[in-house]
Structure 1
Amino acid sequence: MPAPGAPPPSSLPIAHLQNNTAKWWWADPGLRKLALGIACGFAVTVNNGYDISLMGGLMANPRFMKDIDSPGSNKLGLIVAAISLGMIPSLTFAPALADRLGRRIAMAVGYVIIIVAVLIQTFVIGGWRMFAGRFVLGFGSSIVFVSSSPYVAEIAHPRNRSETAALINCNFYVGSIISAWVTFGALNIKSNWSWRLCTLLQLLPPIFVLCLLPFAPDSPRWLVGKGRVDEAHRMLAKYHANGDMDDELVLYELEEIKEAIASEKLHQANSKYSAFLKTRGNRHRLFIIVMVGFLSQWVGNGIISYYLVDILKSVGITSPTQQTGYNGGLQIFNLFAAVFGSMMVERAGRRKMWLISACGMLVSYIIITGCSAAYTEKGNKGAGYAVLTFLFVYFGFYDIAFTGLAIAYPIEVLTFSLRTKGLAISLFSVSCALFFNMYVNPIALEHLAWRYYFVYIAILILAIVVIYFGFPETKGRLLEEVAEIFDGPQAHVSGDRHNDDQPKDYKEGSEHVEDSKV
Structure 2
Amino acid sequence: MPISTAPNPLGHLKNNTADWWWKDPGMRKLAAPMLLGFLGAMQTGYDSSIIVNLQANPLFWIALGTTSPAIIGCVVAANPLGALPGLIPGAFISDRWGRKFLMIVGYVGLLGASVFLCFAFGAWKHFGARFFHGIFSGFTSLAGGPYTTEIAHPRNRAQCTALIQSCQFFGAVVGCWVCYACWYIEGEWSWRLPLLLQMWTPILGLALMPFCPESPRWLASHGRMEEAHRVIAKFHSNGDMNDELVQHELKEIRAALEIERLAKAVKYRSFFATKGNRHRLLIVITCGLGMQMVGNSVITFYLVPILLSVGIVDPADQMIYNAGLQMWNWFASMLGALLCERSGRRPMWLISCEGQLISYTVITICSALFAQGSHAASYVVLAFLFVYFFFYAIAFTPLSLAYAVEILPYTMRSKGLSIFFICSMLSVILNTFINPIAFDAIAWKWYIFWIGCILIVGTIMFFYFIETKHRTLEEMAELFDGPSADKNACVPPPDTAEEDKDKEATQSELDDNIAQLSFHPRQEGA
CA contact (8 A) 1:297 1:433 kept: yes
Bigger mean CA deviation after superposition, 299-308 or 363-372: 363-372
> Which residue pairs with 2:26 in the alignment?
30
Evaluate the alpha carbon distance shift between residue 359 and residue 303 of structure 1 in structure 2; reply closer, same or farther with a 3 A threshold: same
Matched, 1:362 2:357: yes
CA contact (8 A) 1:260 1:492 kept: no
Whichever residue aligns with residue 80 of structure 1, its letter is V
Q: Could you tell me which of 443, 449, 474 is aligned with 1:455? A: 449
> Which residue pairs with 2:314 in the alignment?
319
Alignment of 1:32-51 (within 5 A): 32-51=28-47
CA contact (8 A) 1:36 1:212 kept: yes
> Which residue pairs with 1:497 in the alignment?
499
Evaluate the alpha carbon distance shift between residue 295 and residue 244 of structure 1 in structure 2; reply closer, same or farther with a 3 A threshold: same
How many residue pairs match? The answer is: 491
3-state secondary structure, aligned to 2:121: coil
Matched, 1:446 2:440: yes
Bigger mean CA deviation after superposition, 53-62 or 288-297: 288-297
CA contact (8 A) 2:259 2:410 kept: no
Structure 2 unaligned residues grouped into runs of 5+: 478-484, 508-526
Alignment partners' CA distance in 1, 2:470 and 2:216: 21
Alignment partners' CA distance in 1, 2:330 and 2:367: 26
Evaluate the alpha carbon distance shift between residue 483 and residue 405 of structure 1 in structure 2; reply closer, same or farther with a 3 A threshold: same
Residues 268-323 of structure 1 deviation map (CA, whole Å, 9 limit, x = unaligned): 434x7777777888777665554333221222111111111111111111111211
Matched, 1:87 2:87: no
Matched, 1:217 2:235: no
CA contact (8 A) 1:167 1:404 kept: no
TM-score, scaled relative to structure 2: 0.83
Matched, 1:245 2:241: yes
Matched, 1:374 2:369: yes
Bigger mean CA deviation after superposition, 244-253 or 303-312: 244-253
Residues 432-478 of structure 1 deviation map (CA, whole Å, 9 limit, x = unaligned): 1112111111111112222211222222233334445555666679x
Whichever residue aligns with residue 365 of structure 2, its letter is G
Alignment partners' CA distance in 1, 2:431 and 2:302: 10
CA contact (8 A) 2:474 2:487 kept: no
Whichever residue aligns with residue 26 of structure 1, its letter is W
> Which residue pairs with 2:296 in the alignment?
301
Evaluate the alpha carbon distance shift between residue 470 and residue 94 of structure 1 in structure 2; reply closer, same or farther with a 3 A threshold: farther
> Which residue pairs with 1:434 in the alignment?
428
CA contact (8 A) 1:142 1:427 kept: no
> Which residue pairs with 2:515 in the alignment?
none
CA contact (8 A) 1:84 1:434 kept: yes
Give 1:96 deviation, angstroms. 1.9
Bigger mean CA deviation after superposition, 322-331 or 227-236: 227-236
Q: Could you tell me which of 114, 121, 146 is aligned with 1:150? A: 146
Alignment partners' CA distance in 1, 2:411 and 2:238: 29
Alignment partners' CA distance in 1, 2:206 and 2:401: 23
Alignment partners' CA distance in 1, 2:31 and 2:426: 33
> Which residue pairs with 1:384 in the alignment?
378
> Which residue pairs with 2:115 in the alignment?
119
Give 1:60 deviation, angstroms. 0.9
CA contact (8 A) 1:223 1:232 kept: yes
Whichever residue aligns with residue 223 of structure 1, its letter is L
Whichever residue aligns with residue 158 of structure 1, its letter is P
Alignment partners' CA distance in 1, 2:48 and 2:310: 22
Alignment partners' CA distance in 2, 1:202 and 1:95: 23
Matched, 1:229 2:221: no
Matched, 1:165 2:161: yes
CA contact (8 A) 1:46 1:171 kept: yes
CA contact (8 A) 2:259 2:411 kept: no
Evaluate the alpha carbon distance shift between residue 167 and residue 387 of structure 1 in structure 2; reply closer, same or farther with a 3 A threshold: same
Structure 1 unaligned residues grouped into runs of 5+: 507-518
Bigger mean CA deviation after superposition, 403-412 or 157-166: 403-412
Alignment partners' CA distance in 1, 2:437 and 2:340: 37
Give 1:234 deviation, angstroms. 2.6
Alignment partners' CA distance in 1, 2:414 and 2:104: 16
Matched, 1:259 2:261: no
Give 1:248 deviation, angstroms. 2.9
Give 1:20 deviation, angstroms. 3.1
Alignment partners' CA distance in 1, 2:243 and 2:430: 50
Bigger mean CA deviation after superposition, 39-48 or 242-251: 242-251
Evaluate the alpha carbon distance shift between residue 351 and residue 394 of structure 1 in structure 2; reply closer, same or farther with a 3 A threshold: same
CA contact (8 A) 2:263 2:412 kept: no
Give 1:267 deviation, angstroms. 5.8
Give 1:174 deviation, angstroms. 1.0
Identity of counterpart residues, as a percentage? Answer: 44
Bigger mean CA deviation after superposition, 283-292 or 144-153: 283-292
Give 1:61 deviation, angstroms. 0.5
Evaluate the alpha carbon distance shift between residue 170 and residue 79 of structure 1 in structure 2; reply closer, same or farther with a 3 A threshold: same
Give 1:35 deviation, angstroms. 3.0
Matched, 1:397 2:396: no
Alignment partners' CA distance in 2, 1:467 and 1:128: 40
Matched, 1:70 2:69: no
Give 1:151 deviation, angstroms. 2.2
> Which residue pairs with 2:99 in the alignment?
103
Evaluate the alpha carbon distance shift between residue 301 and residue 92 of structure 1 in structure 2; reply closer, same or farther with a 3 A threshold: same
Matched, 1:208 2:207: no
Alignment partners' CA distance in 1, 2:462 and 2:325: 29
Whichever residue aligns with residue 324 of structure 1, its letter is M
CA contact (8 A) 2:410 2:491 kept: no
Give 1:250 deviation, angstroms. 2.7
Matched, 1:141 2:137: yes
Matched, 1:336 2:334: no
Give 1:423 deviation, angstroms. 5.4
Residues 371-428 of structure 1 deviation map (CA, whole Å, 9 limit, x = unaligned): 2222223x22222111111111111222223234445556667789987776555443
Matched, 1:176 2:172: yes
